[in-house]
Chain A
Amino acid sequence: MGADTAEVAIRVTGVSKLFGDAEQPVRALDDVSLAIRDNEFFTLLGPSGCGKTTLLRLIAGFDHPTSGSIELHGTDISHLPPYKRSVNTVFQNYALFPHMSVEQNIGFGLEMLGKPREEIEHTVDAMLRLVRMQELRDRRTDQISGGQQQRVALARALAPHPQVLLLDEPLSALDYKLRKEMQIELKRLQHETGITFIFVTHDQEEALTMSERVAVMNAGRVLQVGPPHEIYDRPIERFVADFIGDTNFLGARVQGRNGAAATLRLGCGLELEADLPPELAGASEVTVAVRPEQVTLAPAGEASLKGRLENIVYFGTDTHYHLSLPGGERFTARVQNTRGRRELFAPGSEVGIVIGAGVVQVLRD
């Protein structure tokens, strides 16, 4: 999928990881394959327990795959200990060494690599500058704030200049404003260092705003890999569409086919055209997803699909219109607010819903 054109930093091939006893193993990862490009900001996104942290730990070397292989720039590292991989981790709780100063923490990796003293000092200086922590270099790690600890953890992991940097939900412990700042900071650091970042999060917004590509995971499997807009606009599975953003799910019957395109008849009676994924070529009943902000509302007479307006919820930037379709299905439309705009529709009235071409996405269940 284009991953072969750029150089691959991390190639995960058919990796499974089983925990627990042999009789009742827990399958944390189930035949996962991924190619993460060099110099890419790649995100593993999924709910807790989906296997994203397990995959990160396998890449870091804290655990080893039950089957399958992990390559770093073409070298199999599946069974190397963590200290023999040019991969560093920013831990969720930062895991800074409490018995060392900020400076000693950042220099630790270089010291373990046996770098000469002048080089260590030089790099630590550069790292302190990079994360803007020069003034606090002599502090103990419990004498600095959470956001500052976060920066030290980043500097410590970046100092040995690893080929790949792993970030395990590093922003989850920060408050909202600090998290926004650090998101921008992380993008800047990735850009300045040119290191491949693999970022783990359960926050879909974080994944969409920061990543070049996202892998959505659930129950130990990778469901979809792609750039944020593709994941959002063209989810191939119901789980992906549901996990990322808000979606209207509608049942549909396949009426006729013309190559990949098919004519679908929705439960409410509306007929429309959409592309069918190849594995659904023979299906007669499918589910389609329509994003609430990709439809427009119109007076009842101007649209082929009508719904009864049940509820209006004002959100500041936009307004959500909750509608009930003729077949009984629920539908939400989201309309951007502009200044001084008045309510267009009254609750209880009939409203037309305009679904444009290419907005409908047929899902695998």
Chain B
Amino acid sequence: MQQAEVRRNVMLSVPALVVLAFAASGPLLIMLVYSFLGAGDYGGVVWHASLEGWQKVFLHRDIFDDTLSLADAHLSIFWRSLSLSFMTTVLALLFGFPTAYFIATRPPRSRNVWLFLITIPFWTNLLIRTFAIMEVIRNQGILNTLLVELGVIVEPIQILYTDVAIMLGMTYVYLPLMILPLYAALEKLDFRLVEAGYDLYATRARVLWRIIVPLVKPGIVAGCILVFIPALGAYVTPRVLGGGKNMMLGNLIELQFGQGHNWPLGAALSITLLVIVMVALLVYVRTVQRGSEHG
């Protein structure tokens, strides 16, 4: 009887395993293989082993004298992707935490209304929302016009097509992914512990830092991961708000598969992105764990 039960459980997991094999592991394997092949002249790959793709990730071959040097352009894109994703995560946490706290402290019935409002942006296509942000921050846009009219600034500030624009856009896009896990953690928080903290002479800031934050740490970790990872591979937001000039990794990869006609390089960059995400996660989780051991 127990064996039958085990067999049934295995059967139940088959659909998920099939999806994982074909939709997740399969493409990854293809990418891995492609990154070690030669580039076709008009895209695609030619089937002979080559390290050219991987070499180009980090090194730049001069067209005239054929010497190799570090690929500064790629490295600066790596750096921009990492730093912008990091800043986006920090901003999303700073905006998301008070919002999630606010929702979690409403009476149960109005909480659902607030959560519903948080999900409204998902109803609209990401591209359209990104164009809407463009409308807000461009030189003749709502924000600049308002600030000029109010006399705060004399000339419009150039925000669009800068890293700041990308950062703001990504914060807006990924904010719900921060709010939802934070809310889930805060909603489970026993607020009597907060009262106990006040009772034992902890001020508001100290209650937040010593009691609320440690107790909702799993939610903070989940939210940060959910924002950081998609931000690192973001494509639409940096494409529209960065204006093609300030590329991030996603744009660079797309370029290689498109106009660049260099699939092996694109595949190698994709694998590199994957490794960066894995290393970043590992470092992050380790840091959090060490923090709680001391805490």
Contact = CB atoms under 8 A, between A and B. Distances in A.
Given A97-B211, A99-B295, A112-B206, A61 B193 contact: no
Of A91, A97, A98, A113, the most chain B CB neighbours within 10 A belong to A97
A99 B210 CA distance: 10
Contacts of A156: 200
Interface stretch (A36-44, A80-88, A206-214, A218-226): A80-88
A120 B200 CA distance: 14
Interface in B188-202: 190, 192-193, 195-202
A95 interface: yes
Contacts of A113: 201
A112 B199 contact: no
How many of chain B's residues touch chain A, expressed as a range?
Answer: 10 to 19
B262 to A, nearest CB: 51
B214 to A, nearest CB: 5
A93 B200 contact: no
Given A89-B196, A91-B192, A93-B192, A99 B202 contact: no
A60 B200 CA distance: 10
Interface string A283-325: 0000000000000000000000000000000000000000000
Contacts of A96: 196
A115 B200 CA distance: 13
B195 A62 contact: yes
A109 B202 CA distance: 7
Given A95-B190, A99-B215, A112 B195 contact: no
Nearest to B213: A99
B76 interface: no
Given A95-B192, A95-B193, A97-B193, A108 B200 contact: yes
B198 A62 contact: yes
Contacts, number: 59
B25 interface: no
B203 interface: yes
A228 interface: no
Given A97-B193, A97-B211, A89 B201 contact: no
Interface residues of B: mostly helix, strand, loop or mixed? helix
Given A97-B211, A99-B295, A112-B206, A83 B193 contact: no
A160 interface: yes
Q: Which of B199, B201, B215 has the most CB of A within 10 A?
A: B199
Nearest to B202: A112
Contacts of A98: 193, 215
Contacts of B206: 112
Nearest to A108: B200
A89 B192 CA distance: 11
Nearest to B203: A83
A83 B202 contact: yes
B190 A112 contact: no
Contacts of A87: 199
B215 A95 contact: no
Interface string A126-165: 0000000000000000000000000000001100100000
Contacts of B195: 62, 82, 89, 91, 95
A83 B199 CA distance: 5
Contacts of A109: 200-201
A99 to B, nearest CB: 5
A176 B206 CA distance: 38
Contacts of B210: 108
Contacts of B193: 95, 97-98
B295 to A, nearest CB: 7
Contacts of B201: 83, 109, 112-113, 160
Contacts of A81: 198
Given A62-B199, A81-B198, 11 more contacts: A62-B198, A82-B198, A83-B200, A83-B201, A83-B202, A91-B195, A95-B190, A95-B192, A99-B295, A108-B200, A160-B201
Interface of A: 60-62, 81-83, 87-89, 91, 93, 95-99, 108-109, 112-113, 156-157, 160
List of 7 A-B pairs having minimum Cβ-Cβ separation, nearest first = A109-B200, A112-B201, A95-B196, A82-B198, A95-B192, A112-B202, A99-B214
